[in-house]
Amino acid sequence: MDTSQYLSMFLEESMDNLQTLNEALLQLEQEPDNVDKLNEIFRVAHTIKGMAATMGFNRMAELTHKMEDVLSEFRNGELKVTKQVVTVLFKCLDTLEQMVDNISSGEEEEMPVDELMEKLESISKNAKDASETISAKETEQVETVKGEEGQESKNEENSTKIELNEYDINVIKQALDRNYTALEINIMLSETTLLKSARAFLIFKGLEEFGEIIKSRPGTEDLENENFDFKIELVYLTEKSKEDTKKLLKNISEIDKIEIITLDSHTIKNYYNNSEIKVDNKAEKVENTKKVEKSIEKDEVKSVKVEVKPKTNTPNVQKKSAEPHKKIHQSVRVDLERLDKFLNMVSELVINRTRLEQISSSYKLTELNETIEQVARTTNDLQDLVMKIRMLPLDTVFNRFPRMVRDLSVELNKEMELIIEGQDTELDRTVIDEIGEPLIHLIRNSADHGIEPKEKRISEGKDPIGKIRLIAYQEGTKAVIKVKDDGAGIDVERVRAKAEKVGINTEGMNENDIKNLIFAQGFSTNEVVTDISGRGVGMDVVKTKISALGGTVNLTSEEGKGSTFTIKLPLTLQIITALLVKVGEENLAISLNYIDSVIDYKEEDIKKTNNKEIIIYRGKVLPIIRVNERLGLPKTNGDRVYIVIVNVGEKSAGLIVDSLQGQQDIVIKPLGKTLKQLKEYIGATILGDGFVTLILDVAAFV
């Protein structure tokens, strides 16, 4: 079978499923008894295995199959969810992700998976050995108990026939608390039944319309392969009564006998108490499970908590009753290249619309005005639509960080907690693609420099677990992302000393300016170079990337209390509203996102301090920047000169320009390789008269 046409779908689905597994495994580590999360992990792993096998990626399917074996031990209660086992599973996910990347890039290099598969086999085998030893001991003790207590188990109404583990019991208890009915159903098929698996499918399909089957004997695989006699035993949760369920089953042909037992809290309690014989034998269990831990790489995993707000954590049972039936959303996968072409075409439409408006105005063609206004409205609607299509939630970037923080906590031997808020905030896809790397640097910086070791935090009266907050929200036409930590903060004197050492003059700088020196190229306060920091490239990369995106990054910090990095980004980078100005004989554009106001230039308002020009505006001292001098353009002797007040993060300045040309929507076009090094411009645009106009990079100026 030719599977090439399905390759792109396989790659996308696999990456989505691997991310889901990462998030679910993190949550399971925090909530080992969360049955729903365990079932979700098992289902997703099974999906990945099936897809990989179908596409012919056998090594990938084999590794996932071994993972399933370990997950089965979790589900059957034979293996406890420990940090050591989860760490091995995370390594498997990393390997699977690398395999998918290799397939995507066309690399034929095979990933080494034998060692991982051996670890998984060892975990699974030792868990089974431990379980069998414990089971033999339990059987012996149970028989003793039964001998002493007589005929207690004869009453079928008070004991279940299907063996239940702790997970199953917890699910049943939750269901009973929410007024569900729990039933044990014993079905005997007719001995003349030819297609037993088809009959079993009809039984399952009929029951699952009104509830959930949480246990079956034989299991699903045996049922599918007709590997059973004629008896099927089920544990079933439903809102229907026992009588209604029996009536439903009677409508299915080829069933000879139906026996239904109601499981109430008393029944479960009795069963649970009998099960506690397992728990009493702790010494035996610990001794046997030591084998499991010895087979795992001894990474000492410190406490790490991941919290994403808002979060709902309701079991499947509750979801079925609470959520109304929703219409399935219809969507179409669109290649990103096509979407970019669509945006480029809309951009050209905006340019031509501007050209039409200028022609109409120049030649005073009033009869065209109405049509042009209609075209303008339609173009604006189309522009808004294509922008919304390109918008993606920040969650697509944020979802990789919980796992990263967990790994950092192990690597740095620190306890830390990641709290995510506002992951639904949307940004243009271009921004989303680029923002990941700066955020990685900022979070790693908070983990390494900010969060203190547990002992130090306790001695200072802080919570032993350090908190890193990742917050996002929309503010006007900008998106704001904050990375906050409650760590040590920034030692101003240490930064000042390092600055002087590398030749940066700090005279006249306030504390905030000195703190922001950490963004300077090659600047690092770490004396020791590690895998995480110390080379002084991380924060420089952050500032360069953010500036390239037309955004700003600013640091506020209080020693002993923590630090906050605030990133402000435009929601979109393609089409913006700009103020057109003239400097010398050149037309330039300034994004309205940066502009606070425009005032008349008066020579008497300009003051000098430290040989630098300033102006006092609304009680603030603002530096003056003569754009013509900065760009090397000749000065014109116009009647009126203007000062454009701009804000970049916490800083403000006044840009002196010769005249104003009005404002309009412009399309940002990249400068190309030849002019890429010009730091004063973020790009160029084509105006209505067909001339190319450069767009000033205000952040670089200020």
Return d(Cα 189, Cα 199) in angstroms, integer: 8
* 512-521 confidence digits (pLDDT tens): 778 878 877 6
What is the pLDDT confidence band of residue 675, given thresholds at 50, 70 and 90?
confident
Both 627 and 563 in one domain: the answer is: no
Tally the C-alpha atoms within 13 A of residue 200's C-alpha that lie toward its C-beta.
26
579 within 8 A of 624, measured Cβ to Cβ: no
Q: Taking the mean position of all CA atoms in its chain, how far away is CA 579?
A: 37
C-alpha distance across the termini of the chain, in Å: 60
Both 697 and 579 in one domain: the answer is: yes
Return d(Cα 196, Cα 199) in angstroms, integer: 5
Average pLDDT value for residue range 82-109: 84
User: Which carries the bigger pLDDT value, residue 297 or residue 566?
Assistant: 566
Quote the pLDDT of residue 572: 67
What is the pLDDT confidence band of residue 52, given thresholds at 50, 70 and 90?
confident
Quote the pLDDT of residue 325: 41
What is the pLDDT confidence band of residue 649, given thresholds at 50, 70 and 90?
low
Q: Which of 308, 589, 339, 544 lies closest to 441, judged by CA?
A: 544
* 365-402 confidence digits (pLDDT tens): 877 888 888 888 888 888 788 878 888 888 888 888 88
Quote the pLDDT of residue 643: 92
Q: What residue has token string 């690092």?
A: 524
Both 386 and 402 in one domain: the answer is: no
pTM above 0.75, yes or no: no
What the block records as the tokens of 293 is 């831990």
Average pLDDT value for residue range 311-320: 41
Both 589 and 559 in one domain: the answer is: no
* 203-220 confidence digits (pLDDT tens): 888 888 888 888 888 887
Quote the pLDDT of residue 524: 65
Both 175 and 62 in one domain: the answer is: no
Count CB neighbours of 355 within 10 A: 15
213 within 8 A of 207, measured Cβ to Cβ: yes
Return d(Cα 137, Cα 114) in angstroms, integer: 35
DSSP for 382-406, written as a single string: HHHHHHHHHEEETHHHHTTHHHHHH
| Domain annotation covers residue 329 | no
What the block records as the tokens of 268 is 């479960």
Q: How many residues does the structure list for the chain?
A: 702
Both 552 and 584 in one domain: the answer is: no
Q: Which of 556, 404, 427, 405 lies closest to 480, judged by CA?
A: 427
Return d(Cα 588, Cα 698) in angstroms, integer: 12
Tally the C-alpha atoms within 13 A of residue 149's C-alpha that lie toward its C-beta.
10
The three-state secondary structure class of 666 is: strand
Both 592 and 550 in one domain: the answer is: no
Q: Which is it for strands 620-626 and 255-262: parallel, antiparallel or unpaired?
A: unpaired
Quote the pLDDT of residue 565: 92
Quote the pLDDT of residue 472: 92
The three-state secondary structure class of 685 is: strand
46, 65, 170, 307: the catalytic one is 46
Q: Which of 217, 323, 593, 513 lies closest to 504, judged by CA?
A: 513
23, 68, 426, 434: the catalytic one is 68
Annotation says 637 is catalytic: no
Q: Which of 117, 110, 102, 28 lies closest to 68, judged by CA?
A: 117
Quote the pLDDT of residue 321: 40
Return d(Cα 397, Cα 439) in angstroms, integer: 9
**Mean pLDDT (the chain, rounded):** 77
| Domain annotation covers residue 312 | no
| Domain annotation covers residue 280 | no
What the block records as the tokens of 359 is 């022609």
Looking at residue 360, which CATH number applies to its domain? 1.10.287.560
Return d(Cα 577, Cα 668) in angstroms, integer: 10
Quote the pLDDT of residue 136: 52
Q: Which is it for strands 606-609 and 562-570: parallel, antiparallel or unpaired?
A: unpaired
Both 400 and 543 in one domain: the answer is: yes
52 within 8 A of 46, measured Cβ to Cβ: no
* 290-305 confidence digits (pLDDT tens): 444 444 444 444 445 5
Both 18 and 78 in one domain: the answer is: yes
Alpha helices in 413-551 (DSSP H): 429-445, 454-459, 492-501, 511-515, 538-548
Return d(Cα 67, Cα 55) in angstroms, integer: 19
* Region at 550 (left for phi over 0; alpha for psi -120 to 50; beta for the rest): left
Looking at residue 595, which CATH number applies to its domain? 2.40.50.180
Both 623 and 564 in one domain: the answer is: no
* 146-184 confidence digits (pLDDT tens): 444 444 334 434 444 577 777 778 788 888 888 888 889
532 within 8 A of 411, measured Cβ to Cβ: yes
| Domain annotation covers residue 590 | yes
490 within 8 A of 559, measured Cβ to Cβ: yes
Residue 577 has what DSSP assignment?
E
Quote the pLDDT of residue 482: 93
Average pLDDT value for residue range 233-239: 89
**For the chain, what percent of residues have pLDDT higher than 90?**
7
Quote the pLDDT of residue 146: 41
Quote the pLDDT of residue 420: 92
Annotation says 266 is catalytic: no
> Judging by beta carbons within 10 Å of its beta carbon (0-12, 13-18, 19+), is residue 537 exposed, middle or buried?
middle
Both 376 and 250 in one domain: the answer is: no
Domain span holding position 637:
575-701
What is the pLDDT confidence band of residue 326, given thresholds at 50, 70 and 90?
very low
What is the pLDDT confidence band of residue 468, given thresholds at 50, 70 and 90?
very high
What the block records as the tokens of 531 is 């895998």
Count CB neighbours of 681 within 10 A: 17
| Domain annotation covers residue 24 | yes
Q: Which is it for strands 642-648 and 595-600: parallel, antiparallel or unpaired?
A: antiparallel
Count CB neighbours of 214 within 10 A: 21
Last-in-domain residue among 570, 600, 631: 570
- Find the angle CA(109)-CA(114)-CA(115) to the nearest 5 degrees: 120
Q: Where are the beta strands (DSSP E) in 584-628?
A: 586-591, 595-600, 606-609, 612-617, 620-626
Quote the pLDDT of residue 281: 43
Q: Which residues pair with 662 in a beta bridge?
A: 580
Both 641 and 529 in one domain: the answer is: no
Average pLDDT value for residue range 501-511: 77
| Domain annotation covers residue 279 | no
Count CB neighbours of 632 within 10 A: 7
Q: State the maximum Cα–Cα separation within the chain, in Å, rounded to a whole number.
A: 111
Count CB neighbours of 123 within 10 A: 25
Quote the pLDDT of residue 290: 47
- Residue 539: is its pLDDT beyond 90? no
Phi, psi of 660, rounded to the nearest 5 degrees:
-110, 140
17, 34, 39, 445: the catalytic one is 445
Return d(Cα 396, Cα 103) in angstroms, integer: 21
- Find the angle CA(476)-CA(479)-CA(482) to the nearest 5 degrees: 125
| Domain annotation covers residue 626 | yes
Question: Which range scores top for mean pLDDT: 18-27, 111-120, 141-150?
Answer: 18-27
Annotation says 445 is catalytic: yes
Q: Sign of the CA dihedral 166, 168, 171, 177? A: negative
User: Cis omega (within 30 of 0) on the bond before 464?
Assistant: no
Query: What is the count of structural domains for the chain?
Result: 5
Last-in-domain residue among 517, 549, 570: 570
